[in-house]
Amino acid sequence: MTASVLLAGCDTDQVSLATNAKANQPVPPKLLAAMVEKDMDLQSPILVRLFKQEAELEVWKQARNGQFALLKTYPICRWSGDLGPKVREGDRQAPEGFYSINPSQMNPQSAYYLSFNTGYPNAFDKALGRTGSQLMVHGDCSSRGCYAMTDEQIAEIYSLGRESFFGGQKAFQLQAYPFKMTPVNMAKHRNNPNMPFWKMIKEGYDHFEVTRQEPKVDFCEKKYVFDAAKPADAKRDPVFDASAKCPAYVIPEDVVAAVRGKQAKDEAEYARLVAKGTPVARMNTGIDGGMNKIFAAKIPEGSTGLSEGAEGTTLQMLAMAKAPGTIPGHVNPPKPNLDSVASAPAPQEEPVVAVSAPATGARVATAAPAEKSGGFFSNLGRKMGMGSSDTTATTPPPQATASVAPATTTPPTAASRLKAAVTRFVPGHDKSKDAAKDAPKPAATVATKPAEPAKQPDTRLAATRPALKPSVADGTSEATQIMGAAPVISSNSFDSRFGAVK
């Protein structure tokens, strides 16, 4: 019933951003200052990249030289599923691939503070028969197949997307990856069954890395094609169909040369890492997703799950660091599946060496998501020549906690593996206590102490969220006016800013 009310509210034209203070928060002064320093305009185009293993979201923005530069990196509070693409509805997987976000996908009425729809499934996903819907980037630190930020973080990201639309960008690109596509990560995951898909989207990653331009994305023969252009003798642009044979196309020679040069270096480094015996990453252990270390350090029994942090940084070192936003009391950190880990075979000492396939040249285009009528942003999308999409996030489910009872009849080998799993996944676990517990007891009679009452978890995590979330940035000074940018205007004048569009 609640979901129906939310959907109905999102589908009516009576919801105006002029009266929605959350969606109309200005870009924080600290971000404005960063734009000035990096020679960017407030309303220039943006591009977003997501990385599961690093649990990071990057916002890139176009500078006045026409190239994109990194504006800010946001730690991801929670993502769900495993490393790998989303395949079907209900698999709890956060999507991977290239997606296009237009104004109709921005949801100011989200059940998770603010959100935008990733546009999954795109044409490639549909060609493979993949299913799923309502995959979001949103607030509230709660994920069921989404990428969840804090409310303060999504307010900033939302404002950057909004301003890019004000500046004329019809859609911004979202690139979602399992990890940063470096030689060391490719070597660690070389035996993962998703590697063919990852090599394909790495092509687009490489195009962006060498050009610092948003890669044009197309699909044909159930694969991605990046930066395709019509041949010199063609009279019209090639027409792509994700399920059909690829049309005749070319990739600009300068792009091909730059991408091939990067890939040659990557493959040489990859071969070196494999030859020296870089360990293969453990396969799926039943852990549901990941969390950035900065958040895991703030939560009792917190764990990063499938995510990794900077080398040499521990949760204890981050315990005193400032969290980038409010962590809600209901946050559910990733927990290890101890039964799965205990029964899994030990990591192989001599990894199987996989031979990398030769790279092929290609470049990427945006795919329009499934669309239907929506609210104010949806109308804006239609008036700018775009469709709309239902972007209301579902109500978060009640959180349940499961306890793992200690086994009393477990064979020695399984017990040792279980202890190893606890040591690996539970921060702060004291191995010395295990050694003391396993030591033989003296024959003398020991006085029995009354059992201590179980300690209750510390629930003093966060105060109730205010109606509006302050900026993640520390700065509170008045916004700096950017060269060529429209001034930041109060929320009650939102409609006037769209006067020309309307």
pLDDT digits 0-9 by tens, 392-420: 343 444 444 444 344 444 444 555 554 55
> 311 or 10: whose pLDDT is higher?
311
Q: Which of 10, 141, 146, 220 is catalytic?
A: 146
Residue 106 gets which letter from DSSP?
E
246 is catalytic: no
pLDDT digits 0-9 by tens, 19-62: 689 999 999 999 999 999 999 999 999 999 999 999 999 999 99
Measured CA distances, 197 to 10, 156, 268, 365 (Å): 35, 32, 20, 17
Beta-carbon contacts of residue 39 (< 8 Å; ≥ 6 apart) = 63, 64, 65
DSSP E strands: which ranges in 76-114? 78-79, 97-101, 106-107
Label residue 497 exposed, middle or buried (CB < 10 Å: 0-12, 13-18, 19+).
middle
Mean pLDDT of 155-161: 98
CB atoms within 10 A of CB 239: 9
pLDDT digits 0-9 by tens, 65-106: 999 999 999 999 999 999 999 999 999 999 999 999 999 999
pLDDT digits 0-9 by tens, 250-272: 999 999 999 999 999 999 999 99
Residue 95 gets which letter from DSSP?
P
138 is catalytic: yes
Report how far residue 75's alpha carbon sits from residue 294's, in angstroms, rounded to the nearest whole number.
8
DSSP per position, 365-404: ---PPP----SHHHHHHHHTT------PPPPPPPP-----
Both tokens of 282, joined, read: 């453990």
| Closest C-alpha among 73, 72, 124, 74 to residue 99 | 124
Torsion angles phi and psi, residue 15, rounded to 5: -85, 110
Query: For 234, left (φ over 0), alpha (ψ -120 to 50), or beta?
Result: beta
The pTM of the full predicted model, rounded to 2 decimals, is 0.69
How many CA atoms within 13 Å lie on the side-chain side of 148?
31
Mean pLDDT of 153-173: 98
Both tokens of 228, joined, read: 């395709």
Place of tokens 């930066």: 227
Report how far residue 299's alpha carbon sits from residue 381's, in angstroms, rounded to the nearest whole number.
40
Report how far residue 245's alpha carbon sits from residue 239's, in angstroms, rounded to the nearest whole number.
10
Q: Which of 10, 77, 138, 189 is catalytic?
A: 138
Query: For 261, left (φ over 0), alpha (ψ -120 to 50), or beta?
Result: alpha
Say what the pLDDT of residue 471 is: 59
Q: What share of the chain is helix, strand, coil (3-state, %, to 5)?
A: 30, 10, 60
Beta-carbon contacts of residue 351 (< 8 Å; ≥ 6 apart) = 190, 191, 274, 277, 278, 279, 280
